[in-house]
Structure 1
Amino acid sequence: MDFNAGDPEHFEVREPARQTIPFVYNSPHSGRCYPESFLADSNLDSMSIRRSADHYVDDLFADAPELGAPLLAAHFPRAYLDVNREPFELDPRMFDGPLPPYANIGSMRVAGGLGTIPRIVAENMDIYRRKLSVAEGLSRIEAIYKPYHACLRRLIAATHARFGICVLIDCHSMPGNIRLSGSNVKPDFIIGDRYGTSASAELSRAALSFLSEMGFAAVRNKPYAGGFITEHYGRPVRGLHALQIEINRGLYVDEGTLSKRPEFDAIAAALSLFMRQMADFVADFSASDTALAAE
């Protein structure tokens, strides 16, 4: 399939029958619809081009609506467009003409090939066999990136207006070979709060505690502290909290075939419990009239 401007198939909001908890769940990198023209322009085969995706993360958090929270899920793949970036983090080497002056061409993410329109997947696997036109790149941002973020903003604003607080959980996965620098620790989960700036310390500690109590190795901020979404939407002093959660893919996906492992259902059940525990934790804070404060 190909995407067209205004196409409602870019993403979906899985709504609860009634929102009962002040949470919004977001899965921006688990899209599985690859435009035919994109595949035709790629150097990569159908398996290699999926290496950077957050495989089935939307399925892992599928219970969110049943628990009373909306889940925003991308249908487009991360290799095609990355909404966890600034809107115009663009690599001029990828395009056949000059980029507009407002493009951020000097970020570390652009330098690494992982801008708003990525140049690579996984470990330096070049996506494209040709340069893109500037118009083509900008059209992806206009047709998909901007509507996606407009939808996410609406969900956050509606949640905040209803409950006086909103907790955004930005859901991702990471390669199974990730280890903490200087050690052999291989985390099962990483909770990112931009080093205490995107969410309250109490929320981060609660998330780590719930995962650890289930027997998982859970760490905070290293090596992933959160991307653009976490940084952009987390404003804890205003009651807007954003946490990024990274799940080790090796727990639930065969990284050779990219198919679900037999353990998938158990990990999904653990995350359903995690979501319940986080909701109860925030409800207890609200009931005690205690503010969730940033560090």
Structure 2
Amino acid sequence: MDRATGEIEQFEIREPASQTIPFVYNSPHSGRCYPTAFLNETRLDSIAIRRSADHYVDELFGAAPELGAPLLAAHFPRAYLDVNREPYELDPKMFDGPLPPFANISSLRVAGGLGTIPRIVAENMEIYRRRLSVGEGLVRIETIYKPYHAALRRLIARTHARFGISILIDCHSMPGNIQLSGSTLRPDFIIGDRYGTSASAELSRAAIAILTELGFSAVRNKPYAGGFITEHYGRPARGLHALQIEVNRGLYIDEVTLEKRPAFDALAATLVTFMRQIAEFAEEYSGTTALAAE
């Protein structure tokens, strides 16, 4: 909370004492501060409205600053605003007036109800009782979405200037019942690199190898290859790498009550090992063409 105004801060940057590794960690969907006005507008109860959140992911990766990397964490909930979308992916059916002409109203994510301002959570559960005003939607974008991305860009640019490379780890969670097509495997982790376009293949393979050695099942890109953030900020030819990591929620929460399981602390401790080892990999290879800018 901002002590000067008494208002809840929309996001925070948890800084290391000194940034010593070329990583930026980002948790855009783990916000848990639900505006009262928003709760008054929703038809969902206090559990259902949270179904699409990346529960406690900011805590799972909370050791990043201790390891020498900043962590950007949202406080606003994903159901209220999704910063892993284009800034204006908006569903015209949600609003009581015409949207600006520059709005993207025809993306697959909008069609699925999961635009910048989502229409649904989880399995087609409608969020709102009524249509929103266009102005209300645009205010969320101007006052939360844009400052959030400005903060993320600054962290990436600062890291790249300091180390010559920047590695963004975009942290998410996935439902425990996610299954690979044509397989019975329900992976513990999915590493997304937009099919090799947002990060070097060496970095993706290293992440999967580390997780596998730690005893997890880990796959690459399917069914989650990465969203807007991974696609937008990953430019490996320039030394700007972006990986999305999806953690199976069944590993650490009860998916009915959304409460932490007893295994939560052990998983968080194991992810410290993952973060340390991926940093060691980056340090070893950052001077090679595998990770450095061409």
Structure 1 length-normalised TM? 0.96
The amino acid that maps onto 2:88 is F
Unaligned runs of 5+ in 2: 2-6
C-alpha distance 254-276 of structure 1, shift in aligned 2 (>3 A): same
Q: Is the 8 A contact 2:28 2:83 kept in 1?
A: yes
Cross-structure match for 2:117: 117
Equivalent position SS for 1:254: coil
Following the alignment from structure 2 to structure 1, what is the Cα–Cα distance between the partners of residues 289 and 156? 21
C-alpha distance 243-68 of structure 1, shift in aligned 2 (>3 A): same
- Give runs of aligned pairs for residues 87-102 of structure 1, distance below 5 A: 87-102=87-102
Equivalent position SS for 1:171: strand
Cross-structure match for 1:246: 246
Q: CA deviation at 1:270?
A: 1.1
Q: CA deviation at 1:291?
A: 3.5
Equivalent position SS for 2:42: coil
Following the alignment from structure 1 to structure 2, what is the Cα–Cα distance between the partners of residues 280 and 293? 15
C-alpha distance 65-293 of structure 1, shift in aligned 2 (>3 A): closer
Cross-structure match for 1:26: 26
The amino acid that maps onto 2:249 is R
Q: CA deviation at 1:183?
A: 1.0
Equivalent position SS for 1:141: helix
Following the alignment from structure 1 to structure 2, what is the Cα–Cα distance between the partners of residues 275 and 264? 16
Q: Is the 8 A contact 2:83 2:145 kept in 1?
A: yes
Does 1:35 find its partner at 2:35? yes
Following the alignment from structure 2 to structure 1, what is the Cα–Cα distance between the partners of residues 220 and 227? 14
Q: CA deviation at 1:290?
A: 4.4
Q: CA deviation at 1:182?
A: 1.1
Q: Is the 8 A contact 1:85 1:115 kept in 2?
A: yes
Q: Is the 8 A contact 1:189 1:217 kept in 2?
A: yes
Cross-structure match for 1:167: 167
Following the alignment from structure 1 to structure 2, what is the Cα–Cα distance between the partners of residues 292 and 157? 16
- Give runs of aligned pairs for residues 54-203 of structure 1, distance below 5 A: 54-203=54-203
Q: Is the 8 A contact 2:81 2:145 kept in 1?
A: yes
Q: Is the 8 A contact 2:117 2:137 kept in 1?
A: yes
Cross-structure match for 1:4: none
Q: Is the 8 A contact 1:202 1:293 kept in 2?
A: no
Following the alignment from structure 1 to structure 2, what is the Cα–Cα distance between the partners of residues 146 and 30? 18
CA offsets 1:65-87 (integer angstroms, 9 cap, x no match): 00000000000000000000000
Unaligned runs of 5+ in 1: 2-6
Q: Is the 8 A contact 2:238 2:292 kept in 1?
A: no
Structure 2 length-normalised TM? 0.96
Q: Is the 8 A contact 1:251 1:264 kept in 2?
A: yes
Q: Is the 8 A contact 2:179 2:186 kept in 1?
A: yes
How big is the alpha-carbon RMSD for the aligned residues of Structure 1 and Structure 2? 1.4
Equivalent position SS for 2:177: coil
Aligned residues: 289
> Identity of paired residues, percent?
80
Cross-structure match for 2:12: 12
Q: Is the 8 A contact 2:200 2:290 kept in 1?
A: no
Following the alignment from structure 1 to structure 2, what is the Cα–Cα distance between the partners of residues 49 and 261? 20
Equivalent position SS for 1:260: coil
CA offsets 1:110-165 (integer angstroms, 9 cap, x no match): 00000000000000000000000000000000000000000000000000000000
